[in-house]
Amino acid sequence: MSKTYRIAIIGCGGIANGKHMPSLNKLNNVEMVAFCDIISEKAKEAAEKYGKGEARVYEDYREVLKDSSIDIVHVCTPNDSHAEITIAALEAGKHVMSEKPMAKTAADARRMVEAAKRTGKKLTVGYNNRFRSDSQHLYKVCSEGELGEIYFAKAHAIRRRAVPTWGVFLDEEKQGGGPLIDIGTHALDLTMWMMNNYEPKVVLGTSYHKLSQRENAANAWGPWDPAKFTVEDSAFGMITMKNGATIILESSWALNTLEVDEAKCTLSGTEGGADMKNGLRINGEKHSRLFTTEVELNAGGVAFYDGAADSAPDLEMRLWIDAIENDKDPVVTPEQACVVSEILEAIYESAKTGKAVYFD
């Protein structure tokens, strides 16, 4: 008889309610038994909606980790606490999924990798865009070598006016940055995964506070308070990899542009190219003629064995639990996520110093 995994949710805010808990709730071999948030009402509401049996509610994550019956912890808190909670959970014998980015700093991300190795527990990071149907298909295309050697890529994370004005998104102390660490991280993860290239050589970055100080600015979620907008509104980076490949990363919450794309990539290889900007398109050359193929994708997501379809979050959670149950590497490994954090930090450092940042 298969095991039922007991899960604790630490941080019961937007991402937990929008992704983790609804998707975990669809799985037959898990039960959410503990809910923790510094705002107790949030934890209580989550427990009432998703809790199984006598689900317990906590305000202090340390109390959660004392429960030896809990198998898995999902960390859905602000960036500055990802490392602290994740490492403590791993050391308490739990498998951990931490929300993206892996950590506020690269040093913390490396500590998380080391803790997973030391404890032998599984650790993954919530880069859910890998699980979209277009991402899954393009990954197969890249893995099978159809694009050849991918030596140039662009990672897209651009919004025209969509600054998140709730929670701690605008707080540099809590988050470590703005759109670069929030949505740029998704685009970079997706691009590097497609390239299967995690060896950066040098990074050059810029960041801007151009639109963040405007009063009563047009915005999808209402005007922001310039006094509280302590993170960048845009950041850009050029990453050169050790094998010579180049990645251009663009990220913004507010930019005067009509070229709006988020968590997408453009790839150029020796045998072909691909982009996700208007659906998924593959391009190349055959019989001395150029071609472009628009890939038809299952609108519901990646086809499941019973003929239904998983959404990206549903597939993410199902494959995460499957990795634990069958003792496999998770789709997003901690080592991969750590390199993303190291590059993001290098872009911020380069933007501050005006100098390129070299990796060993």
Same domain membership, residue 162 and residue 100: no
Q: Is the distance from CB of 16 to CB of 9 less than 8 angstroms?
A: yes
Do 262 and 326 fall within a single domain? Answer: no
The Cα 203–Cα 184 span in angstroms is 15
Same domain, yes or no: 219 and 189 = yes
231 closest CA partner among 189, 186, 187, 180: 180
Within this chain, do residues 276 and 179 fall inside the same structural domain, yes or no? yes
Q: Averaged over 322-332, what is the pLDDT?
A: 98
Residue range 66-83: mean pLDDT, rounded: 97
Q: How many domains does the chain have?
A: 2
Q: What is the CATH number of the domain that holds 167?
A: 3.30.360.10
**Averaged pLDDT, 212-220:** 94
Domain shared by 165 and 256, yes or no: yes
pLDDT at residue 1, as a whole number: 54
Q: Is the pLDDT of residue 301 over 50?
A: no
Q: Looking at residue 309, what is its pLDDT? A: 61
pLDDT (tens digit, 9 = 90+) per residue, 243-257? 999 999 999 999 999
Question: Is the domain of 212 the same as that of 296?
Answer: yes
Q: What span, in angstroms and rounded, lies between the C-alpha atoms of 355 and 360?
A: 16
Confirm if 178 and 101 have CB atoms less than 8 A apart. Answer: no
Do 225 and 274 lie in one domain? The reply is yes
Region 3-25 average pLDDT: 97
Most distant pair of Cα atoms in the chain: their distance: 67
- The whole model's pTM is what? 0.94
Interatomic CA distance for residues 234 and 179, integer angstroms: 6
The boundaries of the domain holding residue 37 are 5-128+313-332
> Which of 163-177, 238-252, 291-305 comes out lowest in average pLDDT?
291-305
- DSSP code per residue over 54-77: EEEEES-HHHHHT-TT--EEEE-S
Nearest to 175 by CA among 228, 225, 97: 228
349 plus 250 within the same structural domain: yes
CB 331 within 8 A of CB 319: yes
pLDDT at position 304 over 80:
no
- Distance, in Å, from the CA atom of 128 to the CA atom of 337, rounded to the nearest integer, reads 12
**What SS3 state is found at 164?**
coil
